[in-house]
Amino acid sequence: MNQKKIKIKPVTNAAEKEMFLNVPLKVYEKDPNWVQPLRSSIAKQLSPENTFFEYGETQEFIAVSETSGEALGRVVAAINKRLIEREQKQIGLFGYFECVEDFEVAKGLLDKAAEWLSDRDMKTVRGPIDLSTHNNCFLLVDVFDSQPFVMMPYNPSYYPEFIERAGWQKAKDAYAYDLDLQKPLPEKYEKGYKIASKSGISFRPLRLKGEEFEEDCRSLYQLFTTAFADNWSSSARTEEEFLEEAKDLQQLVDPNIFCIAEDNGKMVGFFMALPDYNVALKRVNGKLNWLGVLKFLWYRRQIKEARVIAICSLPEYRRKMVPLAVIYLGMQGGTTKKKTYKKAELSWVLEDNIPSRKVIEATGASICKTYRIYEKKL
């Protein structure tokens, strides 16, 4: 395609916003592994009502064919001031990137996002990150022949090639691990649970109702903020933001695979997993209208796999074997209760997070996919 026939333009009205939201339908129309995100979720993230806009700014762009008027790609340039304050660097972000298999479309979008950020004194661009790493982030760079697990990124195989051809460099990789739940865990995990219990640690599932749920979420927020404060490229969330995100997931939690560790009533660790709802979401085509809800409820019964999102322990409780204990209980809950899971994906784990990788690999899990975030100097 001749580059002169493509126009990169900012999204300025409702019609262009609709074109922006529809781009993935064209990109993935023949891809059997793609699971369409909920349109309402993407629109909510980019809505002025999102608290992100209290400390950030964005510009959405679409690539439009000047011959057909069709949108061929999209990207969002974003400035997250919390990230800038944390890293003390003028870092801009690109996210929500999608494009057809045309290098000039991809380069045009990425260049336009970089130009917009450069005009606002950003010195480096990092992505794909959808506003923050608490949303969708990373690009899949290998193994494109399987459906993604819930809340994990997926993209065509030509994206990494296009981004690297456009002059972007690897900033950081992350891995997804595959674990066969039909094989027993090594004995040391059960031993870890027994040691933790004897040292006074108690365990229970996440509570899901009313004030108890909110109380648990506030404790989770404190634990997240303490344990993951130094996560690469992560920006701070307020307690209110965290609670809002938690409420969106409240109805999706299986308490059998969401384990809490406590010491005298204080939360000191957890094992957070979710059923792989992409099995059901694939059937609703991005819309949870009344028919979509019925389909979701029907197909969720077929879920036999889970995604482990986070395993956490305060540093001072690692010697009391809390990480091994919550892994043991989380896996037990997923294989011995009424609803059993056959497989788990543990994702994502940064390549240089060696302590977490060692704990995961000791379970027998193996790397199954690689994800990447890129950077470019301006």
- Give the pLDDT mean for 356-372: 95
* Mean pLDDT to the nearest integer, 143-167: 97
pLDDT digits (tens, 9 = 90+) for 121-141: 999 999 999 999 999 999 999
Look at residue 374 in the predicted model and tell me its pLDDT. Answer: 98
How confident is the model over 270-280, as a mean pLDDT? 95
Q: What is the pLDDT of residues 201-258, one digit of tens each?
A: 999 999 999 999 999 999 999 998 888 878 899 998 899 999 999 998 999 999 999 9
User: Residue 4 — pLDDT band, cuts 50, 70, 90?
Assistant: low
Quote the CA–CA distance of 3 and 211 in Å, as a whole number.
56
Q: 178-212, pLDDT tens digit by residue?
A: 999 999 999 999 999 999 999 999 999 999 999 99
| Pairwise CA distance, residues 149 & 224, whole Å | 22
**pLDDT at position 2:** 44
Structure tokens at 190: 């059960």
Angle at 336 between CA 335 and CA 337, to 5 degrees: 105
Burial tier of 209 (Cβ tally within 10 Å: 0-12, 13-18, 19+): exposed
* Whether pLDDT at 290 is above 80: no
Q: What is the mean pLDDT of residues 289-293?
A: 75
Is pLDDT of 3 > 60?
no
Tens of pLDDT, residues 61-116: 999 999 999 999 999 999 999 999 999 999 999 999 999 999 999 999 999 999 99
Instruction: Return the residue matching tokens 């891995």.
Output: 175
| Whole-number Cα distances in Å, 11 to 7, 55, 95, 125, 340 | 12, 21, 15, 20, 46
Buried residues in 37-55 as b, exposed as e (16+ CB within 10 A): bebeebeebbeeebebeeb
* Per-residue buried b or exposed e for 245-269, using 16+ beta carbons within 10 Å of the residue's own CB: ebeebeeebbebbbbbbbbeeebbb
- Least Cα distance to 41 among 301, 239, 292 occurs for 292
Give 47's contacts (C-beta < 8 A, 6+ positions apart): none
For residues 98 and 158, give the distance between their C-alpha atoms in angstroms, rounded to a whole number: 11
Say how many residues make up the chain.
378
Cis peptide before 205 (omega within 30 of 0): no
Looking at every residue in the chain, the average pLDDT score rounds to 93
H, E, C per residue of 36-81: CCCHHHHHHHCCCCCHHHHCEEEEEEEEEECCCCCEEEEEEEEEEH
Which ranges of 250-321 would DSSP assign to H, the alpha helix?
278-281, 290-299
Predicted confidence at residue 300, as pLDDT, reads 81
* Secondary structure class of 337 (helix, strand, coil): coil
Distance CA 132, CA 231 (A): 12
Cα separation, 4 vs 2, in Å, equals 5
What is the rounded distance in angstroms from the CA atom of residue 261 to the CA atom of residue 274? 18
The residues facing 346 across adjacent strands are 177, 308
Question: In order of start, what are the domains of the chain with their CATH numbers?
Answer: 3-173 (3.40.630.30), 183-341 (3.40.630)
Give percent above pLDDT 90 in the chain. 84
As a whole number, mean pLDDT of residues 286-312 equals 85
